[in-house]
Amino acid sequence: MQAQFILAPNDSIHQPAKNTLVKENRPIFRPSTYIIPATLLAGGLLTQGNLSRQVRNKVVIRYAGFNSSLDDYLQLAPSLAVLSLGAAGVKGRHSFADQIALTILSNAVSQGICLTMKYTIAYPRPDGKGQESFPSGHATNAFTGATLLAREYGGQSAWYTVAGYASAATVASFRVLRNRHWLADVLFGAGLGIASTELVYELYPWLKHLVIHRKRTVLVPIYQGSSIGLCMVSVF
């Protein structure tokens, strides 16, 4: 950091301010925050294989011919809701500029991990149309946005949280009903979306301070094969 602190001899007044500055911008990890996403991630791993195939077989029989593209559009609804509310001046947890940054970072992290796993694992889809089933990108997108909405506006009204996760759950359900994903895919995608967003929120104060107070820090978009993401370069 390039912040400077000038201390007079025998003057200890400024020292607490320095310690406070460090503490305020240090990432604080709360393990309890990751209980739900960790459960979903574990569920995605444990339901791989036989259990997911059993669910798929029952769905195909009971909901034969089910076809709706609602999930293709609804996956973006929670993230768009955050930006729309912020643009309209509805007060959230952060400023509108910070909301934009948090939305970009959260989606970059979650989708970067998701796409890397998709094309590395190359698990076949239940309908046989493709080899990039695990995890579900739609579920990852939807739950990333739902967590953003809950984080920003859940304190204003619990209905924001309910609406966000209800739409995300609908997206995940439709992916299974359309026979585009296994149960394991959407469970893992949901956990990935939530965990990625929570991680970004915990790191954001530190990242923001680092970028603002360090002139030689830059975020660079990266693309490798079918994977995209952000790389932070900082000169210490």
pLDDT tens for each residue of 21-80: 445 566 677 888 999 999 999 999 999 999 999 999 999 999 988 989 999 999 999 999
Element (H or E) spanning 228, and its range? strand 227-234
Phi, psi (deg, nearest 5) at residue 27 = -60, 135
CB 93 within 8 A of CB 160: no
Which of 122-136, 194-208, 209-223 shows the lowest per-residue confidence on average (mean pLDDT)? 209-223
Q: What are phi and psi of 29, to 5 degrees?
A: -95, 125
Helix (H, G, I), strand (E, B) or coil at 144: helix
| Residue 228: per-residue pLDDT | 54
- Residue 207, pLDDT score: 84
Mapped onto helix, strand or coil, the DSSP state of residue 14 is coil
pTM: 0.81
Two structure tokens written together for 79: 């993230």
pLDDT of residue 211: 74
User: For the chain, which domains are there?
Assistant: 37-234 (1.20.144)
What is the mean pLDDT of the segment spanning 153-176? 97
Q: Is the pLDDT of residue 5 over 50?
A: no
Determine the residue type at 159. W
